[in-house]
Amino acid sequence: MTRPIRFAGIGIDHRHIFGMAANMMEAGAEFVGWWTDGDPETLDGFQKRFPDVPREGRAEALLDDPEIDLILISCIPRDRAGWAIRAMEAGKDVMSDKPGCTTLDQLAEIRACVARTGRIWSVDFSERFEVPAVTRAEELIAEGAIGRVVQTLGIGPHRLNRATRPDWFFDRDAYGGILTDIASHQIDQFLWFTGARDAEVTLASVGNFANPDDPGLQDFGEIALRAPEGHGYIRVDWYTPDALPTWGDGRLTILGTAGYIELRKYVDVGGADGTDHLILVNGTRCEKIDASDAGLPYFARLAADIRDRTETAMPQEHAFKVCELALQAQAMAEDTHG
């Protein structure tokens, strides 16, 4: 294939579709059409962002187009697996918003479809793939800046923004639970930075401590992970205070045998302006680095994978394992909580 990758969108119910589409365009791909069910809250902003991309009346018009290579999916989470399977069976590769699926049965069906069709099923874990500071951390670790990684500590606080949330956001079965949803980001980062291919969930908990009138919402969750390569702790929540100038003070600390890296991804409270603050401490360096120019290689790598049938953006088994561990943690937490 010598022409640019051509992609379409199915479902714009979550705002992550904005970054998914814009970053694929930045990587040289052509956005040729989209379909969504009804009129989600994101619709006006999406049409303003991509005014020249036509909306199709039927999703099948996109799935049946032999010139479309990739389908981006950001519909209601419980429906993402079904659309991904339809897209792969139609000969398309898939980039899904997280969570890529909401049940273990759905994950098994996706696994079987990938094996049957040979298509790519990728999940845009945006807290890694859309954060330049993570790119710089990967480079430093590859250079040996902190020795062997033995632990990650990831926190993913989010702002509730209740007034703009659709009904499905408060429906446990629709979004899959807080660990299935948000914590998949941190599980992805744990596996990636430790190099683990599997892990044991040793602790998982969820709760609703601040929103009693929304029994379907889980507003707090935590996970502990253990693997031969390292350990991990994850905390996620919907408690971002109004005074914070962004949606969440997401952080990742990566502990190595010869130093550590802390990423203050979206804000540095009381410190420097902007995003992508990286702190490096080892035997010879103790400094803060502006990592905002480190780039986002996932999207160009995915385009190359679509052309070359390779796995440079994210190994397929990695995507499966992240989702599997998130679903296992969710089930453990709800068994304990319930």
**Claim to verify: residue 15 and residue 146 sit in the same structural domain:** no
Mean pLDDT score, 226-236: 98
Give the residue from 63, 95, 124 where a domain finishes.
124
Residue 318 lies in a domain: no
Of 79, 109, 124, the position where a domain reaches its end is: 124
Domain that holds residue 109: 6-124
Residue 137 token pair = 């951390």
Sheet containing strand 93-97, strands side by side: 30-35, 6-12, 70-74, 93-97, 121-124
Residue 238 per-residue DSSP state: S
Lookup: tokens for 54: 């036509």
- pLDDT > 90: percent of the chain: 98
User: CA-CA distance, 289 to 229, in Å (whole number)?
Assistant: 27
Give 109-122 pLDDT, tens digit per residue. 999 999 999 999 99
Q: Are residues 140 and 201 in the same domain?
A: yes
- CATH code for the domain in which residue 239 is found: 3.30.360.10
**Rounded distance between C-alpha atoms, residue 271 and residue 115, angstroms:** 48
Residue 1 has pLDDT above 70, yes or no: no
Confidence band, pLDDT 50/70/90 cuts, at residue 337: low
pLDDT band of 225, cuts 50, 70, 90: very high
214 and 169 fall within a common domain: yes
Give the residue from 106, 124, 142 where a domain finishes. Answer: 124
Query: What average pLDDT does this structure show over 245-264?
Result: 98
Look at residue 305 and tell me if it is in a domain. no
Q: What is the pLDDT of residue 244?
A: 98
Asked, for residue 250, whether it belongs to a domain, the answer is yes
Element counts in the chain: helices (H) and strands (E): 12, 13
- Count the domains in the chain: 2
Q: Are residues 136 and 285 in the same domain?
A: yes
pLDDT at 338: 53
Are 280 and 155 contained in the same domain? yes
**Mean of the per-residue pLDDT values of the chain:** 97
Tell if the pTM clears 0.95, that is, is over it: yes
Confidence of residue 54 (pLDDT cuts 50, 70, 90): very high
Residue 300 lies in a domain: no
Do 23 and 134 lie in one domain? The reply is no
Q: Are residues 135 and 189 in the same domain?
A: yes
CATH number at residue 47: 3.40.50.720
For the stretch 133-145, pLDDT in tens is: 999 999 999 999 9
266 within 8 A of 244, measured Cβ to Cβ: no
